[in-house]
Amino acid sequence: MPRPKGAKNKPKRPEMLDEHFKPDDIVWLKQEAIRLFDEGEVENLSQAAVKLGVSKLKLYAWRRKDSTWKEQIDEARQLVADKLIEEIQQPTVNGKGITMPYVTARLFLIKEIRPEYRDSYKFIVEDSKVKEHLAAIRKLGENKQPEPPVTEKGG
Q: Note whether residue 133 is domain-resident.
A: no
Q: Note whether residue 99 is domain-resident.
A: yes
pLDDT of residue 102 exceeding 80, the answer is no
Q: Note whether residue 143 is domain-resident.
A: no
Q: Note whether residue 78 is domain-resident.
A: yes
pLDDT of residue 18 exceeding 70, the answer is no
The mean pLDDT value for 100-126 works out to 76
Nearest CA among 15, 46, 44, 12 for reference residue 110: 44
Q: Note whether residue 109 is domain-resident.
A: yes
Residue 59 near residue 33, CB atoms below 8 Å: yes
pLDDT of residue 16 exceeding 90, the answer is no
Residue 49 belongs to what domain range? 14-117
Q: Note whether residue 84 is domain-resident.
A: yes
Q: Note whether residue 28 is domain-resident.
A: yes
Query: What is the phi/psi pair of residue 118, to 5°?
Result: -70, 150
Q: Note whether residue 49 is domain-resident.
A: yes
pLDDT of residue 148 exceeding 70, the answer is no
Task: Tally Cβ neighbours within 10 Å of residue 69.
Answer: 19
Question: Is residue 62 classed exposed, middle or buried when 0-12, 13-18 and 19+ CB atoms within 10 A define those classes?
Answer: buried
Q: Quick one: pLDDT at residue 68? A: 94
32-91 pLDDT, tens per residue?
A: 999 999 888 998 899 999 999 998 888 999 999 999 999 999 999 998 888 888 887 776
Number of domain units in the chain: 1
* Cross-strand bridge partners of residue 147: none
Residue 80 near residue 113, CB atoms below 8 Å: yes
